[in-house]
Amino acid sequence: MSSIQSKEKKLFLSPSKILFWLGIVLIVVLFSAPILWQILTSVKLNEDISAIPNVYFPSSITIEHYQSLFSRRPFLAYIFNSALVASISTILCLVFGSPAAYGLARMKLPGEKLILTGILIITLFPYVLLFLGLLEIVKAIGLGNNYLALIIPYTAINLPLTILVMRSFFLKLPKDLEDAAKVDGYKTLGMLINIVLPMTLPALATTGILTFIFAWNEYIFALTFITEEAKKTIPVATAQLGGANLFDIPYGPIAAATILGTLPLVILVLVFQRQIVQGLTAGAVKG
């Protein structure tokens, strides 16, 4: 009898557990449905895309939309441009932001609270409001149709966030390790490279991913500062995809371009997922 009762208890699900799993399923469906729709649209025939009522699953699969991206427009160049701008701006943010964050975390600077308040205000400031001022600067110094017209603003916009995130991580690192390294004969630069840097890799990966995603997806600056076709980025090129005539919206190529534009970010997150989780959870548990 006892074994039968234990089996019945295992099979029985309480209302709270049912609601819990139902909520999880709904959340997964809610977030997965747009992605799945874009993937299916990118491989549908034009007849299925324009069919009424909607054809949710394609009658046959085609890669014509992906082929048209590379045959009609230099889509590889767009991917290269986005990767180049995002990578350089991310590297610059980490190179300049990490030493600044370390200095704010370890040194007693005059007006430190004022500096941190200014950095926080800049981080919260909507970057779109900088658009007109940056446009005038780009026109004045002749940076139009130059990668620097995107790299410099992206670096400046993401630098405050990099400093804040890295500073909070440096504050959680035990200073005794640095003191012990100095006792062992390490100079400041050697101590930073050999002792501090390996411990900050999770924070660098997390901050770098956030910076890279912003630079990869940014649209307003890329649309305005770059008008040369060969130097456009993926968001701008995707938005400017045209059909056979003025009233034709190329849903298939747009969906294919969206998938190709998102895939590098997904791969990047999957590759560095362990470092990202370590960076996000660093210092969350003490003991």
Tell me: the pLDDT tens digits for 23-54? 888 898 888 888 888 888 888 888 888 777 77
For the chain, domain boundaries: 15-62, 75-281
For residues 246 and 125, the model is more confident at 125
Tokens 């200073």 sit at which residue?
A: 175
Top mean pLDDT of 147-161, 176-190, 191-205, 247-261 is at 147-161
| Residues 69-79 pLDDT 10s | 888 888 889 99
- Given pLDDT bands bounded at 50, 70 and 90, which one contains residue 273? confident
Question: Looking at the domain that runs over 75-281, which CATH code has it been given?
Answer: 1.10.3720.10
Q: Residue 58 and residue 49: Cα distance in Å, rounded?
A: 9
Q: What is the pTM of this model?
A: 0.81
Does 88 score more than 90 pLDDT?
yes
Is the pLDDT assigned to residue 287 strictly greater than 50?
A: no
For position 279, what pLDDT does the model report?
A: 62
pLDDT tens column, 120-158: 888 888 888 888 888 889 888 888 899 999 999 999 999
- pLDDT of 89 above 90: yes
